Chains A and B, each alone.
Chain A
């Protein structure tokens, strides 16, 4: 089992460019999450999904969109990147709802927006 994988590992964008981050899990988990991690701020939930075809907003959803067309994949999109979106992005998945079950995290994507 690969667990949770994220693509790409690193990316540099210019302000206004768009990109999609891909998260894939091979554990047949229902729940998937996107977080961002900034220095001194811990991890903050951007969007999450409770199953295939569903998505919901987290704490900091502005400027991001997500899609969960397949159970194993959760995509995070930035339509028009801004320097404030420079961060490390983590995807996670869990079989049951977060808090009642272990969330498994991917290795992260380091994004720099110039």
Chain B
């Protein structure tokens, strides 16, 4: 069974601080996605990383895929209250010619003004 472990599970910080969320597995994934979910809504895709060692930036968010494609991180610079939400990583695995997502448990981020 492929598992993705996210850490920390809960993070409460002040506006302006930096933070990093980690997503680790013993399995190799063909790619990895990060989602953000707000209360009462479904997850929304932020980014997909495909190549080992790849780094992608989305404004103040930096995503990195590990060289061995088993882990990933999300770094937020100068967090803002609008960044509050649940962040989910999801590894892509292929099974019967269909790509499927294996989700981590999620990291709940609270940014206080």
CB distance from B75 to the nearest CB of A (A): 20
Q: Mark A33-59, 1 if CB is under 8 A from B, else 0.
A: 000000011111100101000001010
B52-100 contacts to A (CB < 8 Å): 88, 90, 92-94, 96-100
A92 sits at the interface (CB 8 A): yes
CB distance from B45 to the nearest CB of A (A): 5
Chain B residues proximal to chain A, CB less than 8 Å: 4, 6, 9, 30-31, 33, 40-45, 48, 88, 90, 92-94, 96-101, 103-106
Chain A contact residues, majority secondary structure: loop
> Judging by beta carbons under 8 Å apart, are A99 and B30 in contact?
yes
Chain A residues proximal to chain B, CB less than 8 Å: 4, 31, 40-45, 48, 50, 56, 58, 90, 92, 97-100, 102-103, 105-108
Q: Return the contact of A105 from the options B31, B43, B99, B104 (Cβ within 8 A).
A: B43
Residues of chain A within 8 A of B4, CB atoms compared: 42
Residues of chain A within 8 A of B103, CB atoms compared: 42-44
> Judging by beta carbons under 8 Å apart, are B45 and A48 in contact?
no
> Judging by beta carbons under 8 Å apart, are A103 and B100 in contact?
no
> Judging by beta carbons under 8 Å apart, are B104 and A42 in contact?
yes
> Judging by beta carbons under 8 Å apart, are B100 and A48 in contact?
yes
Residues of chain B within 8 A of A102, CB atoms compared: 45, 48
| Bound-complex Cα distance A56 to B100 (A) | 12
